[in-house]
Amino acid sequence: MRYLILATAIAAAPLAAFAQDDPVAQAIKARQGFYTMLGANMGVLSAMAKGDMEYDEEVASRHAANIEALTQYDLPMHFIEGSSNADVEDTAALPAIWEDMEDFRAKFAALGDAAAGAGDAVRGGQENIGPVLGQLGGACKACHDQYRD
């Protein structure tokens, strides 16, 4: 029983540390975690598209499906007041986000639209990855150009 209690305490420690952070720090950690996962999946697709990694239909589909799933998450909820790069360090979020949150949300929704069906679209050959990356990259760029430093 002691070991169970000790194991539970050890496992909960990182969660407790996260919960003790201020809301701004939590928001920034959450969105940076999201972008890390998005980038990891985009990186695999990009490597396959360039030929730096052998095309594997199942792997490509899984990474594209991960991107689809990620874009269903309500990431904009983590863009809280006081978490721009004008307010804190370690974020590239420009204050323009809070000047037009509706447009920011629309641009994030456009990423979801670009990702829709990506898991199936990358099947059938390496040549099918490029168009998917083009759609995703276009949606990313539309947001980054206006809202990211």
CB 88 within 8 A of CB 82: yes
pLDDT in tens, 3-35: 445 445 555 555 554 556 799 999 999 999 999
Domain residue spans of the chain? 23-147
pTM, whole model, 2 decimals?
A: 0.84
What CATH fold (topology level) applies to the domain 23-147? Four Helix Bundle (Hemerythrin (Met), subunit A) (1.20.120)
Q: Is the pLDDT of residue 111 over 60?
A: yes
Q: Is the pLDDT of residue 2 over 60?
A: no
